[in-house]
């Protein structure tokens, strides 16, 4: 999606930036992990296929992706952005007849960053972005039956199980964004700041050259 190509979202512990070409090599390294492939139900891709995927995530109107950065590391301009990468978060508009329905995916790829509240914070930030900028009214999460951490996280965020698919060994959880959910989401993400991504990158580089 082009809408977020110059958007940076700043939270408490994370910064979300658009998925760019320079992020692909690290992303590709992550996805070689059999554990991550299994947890995210992903097939391994070649580096060229990963670049094609990045392009499609950037250009297709039904996909919105942010890379998750460690805010503390990123605050140091001498640390390359790629070295601050922690994971990614996606919204997919899966039903061409209903653009208000979004599938949500999140991956904290770096194991040392899991279990510290980042998944919850990023999911809330992405939901707030989806509701306010993309007009999402219902979120879905499709999760492997064995991925208890992810299932627990989405249930904590008030998603409810609507179905299980024994063939794909996955469960579908949903959250409808009514007025009270919307109000709560906006409250929870009230600290989130939206910035101009390119300008922020330039300011980081300027700080470095001073
Ligand atoms: C699933 C995932 C996104 C959760 O993110 P996270 O940053 O690790 O989770 P958080 O620290 O925000 O915790 C969220 C909730 O998950 C649950 N949780 C987190 N770690 C847990 C653990 N080790 N065991 C059981 N539950 C756990 C807790 O209920 C927690 O809420 P609480 O702290 O209020 O009790 C992350 O672990 C991940 O990306 N894992 C690998 C890839 C993956 O599974 N992606 C999801 C595919 S659908």
Query: What integer pLDDT is reported at residue 168 of this predicted model?
Result: 87
Domain presence at residue 28: yes
205 pLDDT band, cuts 50/70/90, is confident
Percent of the chain surpassing pLDDT 70:
100
Asked if 94 and 104 touch (Cβ cutoff 8 Å), the reply is: no
SS3 for the chain, per residue?
A: CCCCCCEEEECCCEEEEECCHHHHHHHHHHCCCHHHHHHCCCCCCCHHHHHHHHHHHHHCCCEEEEEEEEHHHHCCCCCCHHHHEEEEEEEECCCCCCCCEEEEEEEECCHHHCCCCHHHHHHHHHHHHHHHHCCCCEEEEEEECCCHHHHHHHHHCCCEEEEEECCCCEEEEEEECCHHHHHHHHHHCCCCEEEEHHHHHHHHHHHHHC
Q: Is residue 132 part of a domain?
A: yes
C-beta of 152 in contact with ligand 1 (< 6 A):
yes
In a domain, 210, yes or no: no
Residue 183, classified by CB atoms within 10 Å of its CB into exposed (0-12), middle (13-18) or buried (19+), is: exposed
**pTM for this prediction:** 0.97
Residue 59 buriedness (CB in 10 A; 0-12 / 13-18 / 19+): exposed
Rounded distance between C-alpha atoms, residue 43 and residue 95, angstroms:
23
Check residue 210 and give its pLDDT: 72
Q: Would the CB of 11 count as within 6 Å of ligand 1?
A: no
Give the position of tokens 């001073």. 210
* pLDDT band at 153; cut points 50, 70, 90: very high
Residue 202 falls inside a structural domain: no
What is the average pLDDT across 55-72? 96
For the Cβ of 39 lying below 6 angstroms from any atom of ligand 1, the answer is yes
Nearest to 58 by CA among 17, 11, 26: 17
**Domains in the chain: how many in total?**
1
Residue nearest to atom 37 of ligand 1 (CA): 114
Q: Is residue 140 part of a domain?
A: yes
**Residue of the CA atom closest to atom 8 of ligand 1:** 114
In a domain, 209, yes or no: no
CATH code of the domain covering residue 111: 3.40.630.30
- Of 40-44, 114-118, 123-127, 146-150, give the lowest mean pLDDT range: 40-44
The CA 97 to ligand 1 mean position distance, Å, reads: 32
**Residue 204 domain-assigned (yes or no):** no
Q: Is the pLDDT of residue 206 over 90?
A: no
Domain that holds residue 54: 7-192
Is the model's pLDDT at 124 over the cut of 80? yes
Does any domain span residue 96? yes
Stretch 79-83: mean pLDDT: 96
The arithmetic mean of pLDDT across residues 117-132, rounded, is: 97
- Residue 192 to residues 128, 143, 158, 187, Cα–Cα distance (Å): 9, 27, 20, 10
């Amino acid at each position: 999606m082009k809408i977020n190509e110059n958007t940076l979202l700043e939270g408490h512990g994370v910064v979300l930036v658009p998925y760019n070409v320079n992020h692909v090599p690290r992303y590709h390294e992550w996805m070689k992990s059999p554990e991550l492939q299994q947890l995210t139900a992903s097939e391994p891709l070649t580096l060229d296929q990963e670049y094609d995927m990045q392009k499609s995530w950037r250009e297709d109107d039904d996909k919105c992706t942010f890379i998750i950065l460690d805010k503390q590391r990123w605050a140091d301009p001498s640390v390359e952005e790629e070295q601050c990468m922690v994971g990614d978060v996606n919204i997919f508009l899966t039903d061409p007849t209903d653009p208000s329905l979004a599938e949500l995916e999140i991956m904290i790829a770096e194991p040392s960053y899991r279990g510290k509240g980042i998944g919850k914070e990023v999911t809330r930030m992405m939901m707030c972005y989806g509701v306010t900028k993309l007009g999402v009214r219902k979120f879905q999460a499709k999760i492997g039956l064995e991925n208890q951490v992810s299932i627990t996280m989405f249930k904590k965020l008030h998603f409810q199980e609507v179905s299980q698919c024994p063939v794909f060994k996955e469960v579908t959880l949903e959250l409808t964004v009514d007025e009270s959910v919307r109000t709560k989401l906006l409250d929870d993400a009230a600290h989130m700041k939206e910035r101009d991504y390119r300008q922020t990158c330039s300011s980081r580089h300027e700080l470095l050259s001073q």
